[in-house]
Each structure stands twice: as C-alpha cells, then as structure tokens.
Structure 1
Amino acid sequence: MVELFTSQGCNSCPPADALLSDLAKRNDVVALAFHVDYWDYLGWRDTLASPENTARQTAYRNAMKGSMIYTPQVILNGRAQVNGNNAAAIRSGIARMSDAPGGLTVPVSITRLDGERIVIEAGSGPKPAAPVHLIIAYFDDKAIVPIKGGENSGRSIIYRNAVRDIETIGMWDGKPLRVEIPASELAKKKASGCAVLLQEVSDDSRLGPILGASMLRPPDISVIE
C-alpha cells in the first residue's frame, strides 16, 4: 500500500507524482495520491486537495512522532515514511514489505457485481489488539491539470489515483467481514475507482499499520502483472 501526499503547488512534487503513476500500473501495489491543501497559499489552489487529506497526513505524523508534515511524502503500509522523490527507497520498501512482517497479512477483495453493487470482503485473522477500521477511498484514476499559479505555474501535469473522498464503512475484529455498497457511490463521489483497506486506528485517531488492501480500478485500466 503506497500513499503519496502531494500538492499541485509544490515544485518538488512532479517527480513523485510521475513515480506514483508508474506504481499505479502495478498489479501488486495499491497506490493512492492524497493531495493536501497547505501549499495553496503559494498562489495556486490545488484542484484535487481536501482538508481531510491533510488531516490524514497529520494523523500519520502524530502516530510516527514526526516533527512536521511535508510534500512529497510516501507512507508504506501505514508503517514507514519515505521521501516521495526517493524512488529507490520506495521500491525497496515495497519489496521488503511484500513479506511479513510489515506486509499485508489479511486477504481483502473488492469487486463490482451486476453493475449496481460493490462487494467488499475481508478474510479472517488474529483478533487485533487495536481497533481496525474498514476504510474505502474513492479516487479519480486520471486528472490532467493545467496549473496557472504557484511554483508549478505554466505546467500541465497528469495525476493518477487522486483520492476524492475517504470514509470508514465498518470495523474488523478478526472474523470474516462482507460489506456491500451501491455502485452509484462512485458517481456521487465523482470517482472512477475505489480502494479498500483495513487499518489500525487508535482511539485518538492516530493511524497505524495497514493489514490488508485492494483496489477496484476502472474497467479500461490495464495493469502490469
């Protein structure tokens, strides 16, 4: 699970955005971009940003006891942070976490049935010591944004898997879990796809390890096996 915190107003972010685009093509990676709003003061309001995305990054900082939030930043499996422009560290981190410990240990799937329902299933596992949320993230698989202000003024940048909305839709206690939502939620959220993850969330909203994740991509998007 790769989460990139990025901003259209940050001139250090385009290389990280391009890296996420490459990772989004992989079948073995759930890659999401969370656009934050704290660079908007530089003269360009990020068209994909939200306060909720900034709050998610802040929750990671609090959990990891960091001193600041920054862009571009990557969080791997909810467990480790890496500079978003350090491609070698990100790829090695993905390889290292592909096996336990640190990997996604709970099977999770998300499928679209009959064109009208999205079915989410999480398998069984050891009873968690901390609360585990079943979270769904709605994303836009491709957005081409002409930037007319700020540090990237004059550039047109392609953004992949930009999260439009994120919410908790259930809790997981170690037993198999199945949740159905209407497929119409995608249109309501102005999203073309969605991802689901099981994540430890403490009572004070600090974000912990991600135990499982899966992605429902638009039907016309091919991935690299």
Structure 2
Amino acid sequence: MKRIKARLAAQLAGLTLTALCLAPMAGAAAEKVRVVELFTSQGCSSCPPADAFLAELAERDDLVALAYHVDYWDYLGWRDRLGSPENSARQRGYAQKFDSSVYTPQMVINGRTHVVGSKRPAVLTALESETSEAVDVTITEDGNSLAIDIGSAVGDAKDAHVVLVYYEPRKRVTIGAGENSGRTIEYRNIVTEYRTIGMWHGKATRLEMPMSEIAKWGSNCAVLLQSVDKAGRPGPILGAARAGS
C-alpha cells in the first residue's frame, strides 16, 4: 500500500463518505496550512517570473503549489491553451472575498490573503506569517481506490468543502504570439480540473473513490479542505494534501 501524507484537502464525483472516530496522535506537532495558488497566463508579460517562482515552490514537500491559468488575457493575441473560464471564475470569487481587483500574476496564500506572485519576499513572508493550524488530511492509495482521511476540527473550523484538484505536473510551452511571443516556458502543477466531492462538518471523515475515476483526469491530484460561502466564493483553506508527482 502506498501511503501519501500531506497537510491540506479536495473534491470529485462518485465516492463514499464514512464518519470515523479517530484518536489524535499524542505529542504530534501542530502543522500550519501552506497552500499557494498562482493565477497566471501565457499572455501576461509580467507572469514568467511568477511561473518560475511557483516551479521552485512546487519542489517543496511542506506545501501544495498549484497554477490556475486564466483566459481573460487571450485577446492580447495568444490563447493560453492551459487556461479555462473556470479558473478565471475561481479567481473572481477570491477577488470578491478580498474586495480587490483581478490581476496576474496573483498568488493566493491559504485562501486567506493575496500577493503579487512575482514578489518573492512578500510571498515567503505571507507563507511564514500564516499561523492557522491545519486540519490533518491524508491521502492513501492501494491500487484500486484512493482514500482521503480528514481529521477532526482544529479550533473553530467546521463546515468546509472537500475539493479535488487535478493537475499536470509540468508542461513546456513555446509561445507564438502576444506579449511573451518567442519565449519557451516550463509550467508546473497546472490545474486541469477541480470539483467539490463532499462536505466536512468538523468530524473525522473518510472519503473513498475508485482509481478508475481518478485515472480519467490523471494520477496527480490535490485535496483542499476549503470554506466556501453561500454565494460559492472560496475562502480560507483549512487543510490540504497532494498525491502524485
């Protein structure tokens, strides 16, 4: 059995939810939530430094780094084939919560704050200054199924969406037009699909789904345990984990 452990959480269709009574680990050190979501575009001349920085963050084992390519810069002359209207909609939801404008490159830290993605010191400071304790999330794969175990609530945390995010680990793209014309960029952890697969209400919970469903979208995925308001806007991420490369 291959056991993959991380801190953070996610979504998808066709799985079973089972409430579990799990005892906390004695003496376990509290972990902080560390999720970085980059909103980027191949059509944005300011984005390549942030893309390169995300590639560095993607190598870290203590965080989940994801790149959401947006589609609203396509009119500048180059269609970002990694982009989607769904990614743009997710960013607009954050903008409404943050009462900010939509821009690229934007890095959202733990669903709680946002920073210009190319400003390395500001991003690292935001990561280190985030003190929210993570709800424990574990992904276990046995060849036939993928099990997501979510721990009990930490503090006041409760009622969150379990979001399953599929991503492509890396892709090298030569850009043929627009602001980055002629550049070849290697992108990392490119989000290709995300879905809410269930709810968490503060109790230890297991979600299990067949690997045949996972394989439809690729073997690399992350789980985000995220608060979402009644309007569907994403909020604080309470925990997370990733599986695959």
- Settle same-fold status: TM greater than 0.5: yes
Find the partner of 1:90 among 123, 136, 140: 123
Q: 1:163 Cα shift?
A: 0.3
Q: Which residue of structure 2 lines up, in the alignment, with residue 6 of structure 1?
A: 40
- Size of the aligned set, in residue pairs, is 211
CA deviation vs aligned residue, 1:73-128 (integer Å, no higher than 9, x gap): 0000000000001100111111112xx3xx24200111221x23111111001586
Q: Which residue of structure 2 lines up, in the alignment, with residue 136 of structure 1?
A: 164
Q: Distance in 2 between matches of 1:35 and 1:111?
A: 28
Q: Which residue of structure 1 lines up, in the alignment, with residue 236 of structure 2?
A: 209
Is the Cα contact below 8 Å between 2:146 and 2:208 reproduced in 1? Answer: yes
Q: Which residue of structure 1 lines up, in the alignment, with residue 85 of structure 2?
A: 51
| 1:70 matches 2:99 | no
Structure 2 gaps of 5+ residues are 1-34
Kindly tell me: are residues 104 and 43 of structure 1, through their superposed partners in 2, closer, same or farther at Cα, counting changes over 3 Å? farther
| 1:167 matches 2:195 | yes
CA deviation vs aligned residue, 1:146-180 (integer Å, no higher than 9, x gap): 11111111111100000000000010000011111
Q: Distance in 2 between matches of 1:157 and 1:79?
A: 29
Amino acid at match of 2:169: D
Amino acid at match of 2:239: G
TM-score for the superposition, normalised by structure 1: 0.89
| 1:81 matches 2:109 | no
Is the Cα contact below 8 Å between 1:24 and 1:30 reproduced in 2? Answer: yes
Amino acid at match of 1:215: R
Kindly tell me: are residues 50 and 104 of structure 1, through their superposed partners in 2, closer, same or farther at Cα, counting changes over 3 Å? farther
Q: Which residue of structure 2 lines up, in the alignment, with residue 222 of structure 1?
A: none
CA deviation vs aligned residue, 1:169-219 (integer Å, no higher than 9, x gap): 010000011111222334322x3410001110001112111000111123x
Q: Distance in 1 between matches of 2:150 and 2:117?
A: 29
| 1:193 matches 2:227 | no
Which structure's CA Rg is the greater one? 2
Structure 1 gaps of 5+ residues are 219-225
Which 4+ runs in 1 deviate beyond 4 A?
A: 126-130
Find the partner of 2:173 among 145, 155, 163: 145
Amino acid at match of 2:213: E
Find the partner of 2:152 among 124, 134, 146: 124
Moved more, 2-11 or 147-156: 147-156
Q: Which residue of structure 2 lines up, in the alignment, with residue 223 of structure 1?
A: none
Amino acid at match of 1:181: M
Q: Distance in 1 between matches of 2:204 and 2:159?
A: 15
Q: Distance in 1 between matches of 2:164 and 2:59?
A: 20
Find the partner of 1:15 among 32, 35, 49: 49
Give aligned-pair identity as a percent. Answer: 52
TM-score for the superposition, normalised by structure 2: 0.82
Kindly tell me: are residues 77 and 121 of structure 1, through their superposed partners in 2, closer, same or farther at Cα, counting changes over 3 Å? same
